[in-house]
Chains A and B, each alone.
Chain A
């Protein structure tokens, strides 16, 4: 409740500031104006929003699957760990923004380049959190499994992987939080649809209120994606959430 009051307070201050200073609408539109645009252009905004949401969700799914697979491969095979893990870490030194034009060049202006972009941003937090979780299995469990003459893959699938699910869940939460970044960067660099595309287009035409409306919708999308992921993540580790409640 309190954050809501803070937010309303900030919006009121913004509104007052805009009216008092008489700053032009194309520089800083007051919230009331953005709200009007939000209603008037609702169809356009929704159309573009659905597009961006699809990019975000596909990117998230792809990034989670790729990241989780690679983390499990690293945990299971010392060879892969030695040959590929340093590369994955070094790859994070490349700024994603720098690869965005390349992705557009290779995959086109459509959805594929944005999905790839989002997946690329998501991939690393997922690999690193899950791999970390897989490495930190309670040694007591591993000892127990050893005295039981467990098969190595059974230990991985039935002990190490479930034990790493809380770590994977935090990785997935981070992934959901950064997924919009990937999608929007992709749209800024080159796109024919989406909220990021709408923002660049409307700003270029001086339709700043529409850009703000798109930004607002983008925030809502990001929040929704985060909360949906959080709910699924909680369901993944019921033994943890029931301890926390």
Chain B
């Protein structure tokens, strides 16, 4: 377990995201509580990913407020590096050999924690999709940044693997400020301390929903399933994207 001291909250004040004439959101004010996981829900095309990329400073002309770790839908492991080197990628790319050597024990430990301790020298092509996404999770955590942004990180996986990875992520991300984009209400309810629903064009953000109990929550919990029903109804009542 990696301990993160006092992860900061993240606040957005009066933000505007637009691609040319298409305004994704205007005058957006939003607070992401520190040390907690906030899940952003919404229908496809509403602008969840744009918001996340904006926060990550990945949109043209934007700069991010603080260091973040980013995990995408695809594992983005480099096929020519073994798992250990993939997990240490950030240190390689920053060219800091000293920090890299210092981080190596943590990379090994993280890979062990995600169940890949025996596969350090394997290249990604030798692993299943679930294993690769677990390695990507280890890489994200190895960056050891207080804010973690995740863009539908488990969307590609089969149902059972997805549940397992949600449990793992909830455990390992404990204490960090996490913003996770998903279109799966159950996923949001399982691992989010707080849920926000994005709707409309330009989108606005609904009130914070805080399901009871610690994360990861039991998917069979009747209260959770009740909430899921309500969330789905809410998502269905919002207009979908017009391509």
Contacts and interface: CB of A to CB of B under 8 A. Distances in A.
Chains A and B belong together in one complex? yes
A43 interface: no
Interface stretch (B67-75, B166-174, B215-223): B67-75
A74 to B, nearest CB: 22
Interface string A130-149: 00000000101101111111
Interface in A144-158: 144-151, 154-155, 158
A239 interface: yes
Contact of B58 (A147, A237, A243): A147
Contacts of B74: 140
A6 interface: no
Contact of B94 (A138, A151, A242, A243): A151
A97 interface: no
A239 B80 contact: yes
Contact of A148 (B78, B90, B124): B90
Nearest to A149: B94
Contact of B92 (A138, A141, A158): A158
A242 B124 CA distance: 12
B58 A239 contact: no
A8 B215 CA distance: 73
B93 A155 contact: yes
Contact of A146 (B58, B69, B76): B58
Given A143-B72, A239-B125, A150 B78 contact: no
A158 B92 CA distance: 8
B100 to A, nearest CB: 12
A162 interface: yes
Contacts of B200: none
A144 B72 contact: yes
A150 B143 CA distance: 12
Interface residues of B, number: 25
Interface string A226-244: 0000000000011110110
B79 interface: yes
Contact of B70 (A147, A159, A237): A147
A141 B76 contact: yes
B78 to A, nearest CB: 7
Interface in B137-183: 143, 149
A239 B79 contact: yes
A196 B141 CA distance: 62
B66 to A, nearest CB: 11
A143 B72 CA distance: 10
Interface in A171-218: none
B95 interface: yes
A145 B53 CA distance: 13
Contacts of B58: 143, 146-147
A186 to B, nearest CB: 37
B94 A154 contact: yes
Nearest to B80: A162
A162 B80 CA distance: 7
A151 B93 contact: yes
Given A140-B74, A141-B78, A155-B93, A147 B68 contact: yes
A38 B108 CA distance: 62
Contacts of A150: 90, 93-94
Nearest to B79: A239
A149 to B, nearest CB: 6
B72 A140 contact: yes
Given A148-B94, A154-B94, A162-B80, 13 more contacts: A140-B72, A143-B53, A143-B56, A144-B70, A147-B57, A147-B58, A147-B68, A149-B90, A149-B93, A151-B94, A162-B78, A239-B79, A240-B79
15 contacts: A140-B74, A141-B76, A141-B78, A143-B58, A143-B70, A146-B57, A147-B68, A148-B90, A148-B143, A151-B95, A154-B93, A165-B80, A239-B80, A239-B123, A240-B79
Interface of B: 53, 56-58, 67-70, 72, 74, 76, 78-80, 89-90, 92-95, 123-125, 143, 149
9 smallest beta-carbon distances between A and B, as pairs: A150-B93, A147-B70, A148-B90, A239-B79, A154-B93, A162-B80, A140-B76, A144-B76, A148-B93
